[in-house]
Amino acid sequence: MSFGRLDTGRRAQPMSEINVTPLVDVMLVLLVIFIVAAPLMAGRLALELPRAQGTASGLPEAGLRLAVDAAGSVTLDDQPVSDAQLVQRLQDAARTNPDAELLLQADTAVPYGRVAALIGFAQSAGLSRIGFMATPADPPAGAAPR
């Protein structure tokens, strides 16, 4: 009879596998955080469009002027048009002169989707040269006009 330690027979071997359960738990928590946060980050970005300084270059020789006001009314060369009329007139202009440039002037209150739709109308009509017109900025105080 021996006193002292109890002999269990064999010693416990060290664990040779990596326990991935905590890693999976952390990854799932991060995934949930990103799923919740992504729609918040991709929300509406409200911004006021800046004014541009520089000289007005004028209308190019073969250019069309497309303007959209805050109410969403569209005018092409200072004549009000509906979307169907706009598409037809843009197609006619593209057939007449494929190198014609479309100058787009949109009010700051016009939604981006409306501007994108108008650009889509122009591209589907065959006009690939599209420019944007900005409102001239007020000259800084004390600056000499050009």
Q: How confident is the model at residue 32, as a pLDDT?
A: 95
Task: Name the DSSP class of 4.
Answer: S
Q: Give me the residue label for tokens 């300084």.
A: 53
Q: How confident is the model at residue 59, as a pLDDT?
A: 47
HSE, side-chain direction, 13 A CA sphere, residue 110: 19
Q: Is the pTM of this model over 0.75?
A: no
d(CA 67, CA 103): 8
Report which residue type is found at 89: R
Task: Name the DSSP class of 67.
Answer: E
Per-residue pLDDT of the chain (146 residues; tens, 9 = 90+): 556 666 666 777 777 788 889 999 999 999 999 999 887 776 554 444 446 665 455 544 557 888 888 888 888 888 889 989 999 999 998 898 888 888 888 888 888 888 889 889 988 888 888 888 776 666 655 555 55
Domain boundaries, the chain: 63-132
- Please state which CATH class domain 63-132 belongs to: alpha beta
Q: How confident is the model at residue 24, as a pLDDT?
A: 95
Q: How confident is the model at residue 57, as a pLDDT?
A: 54
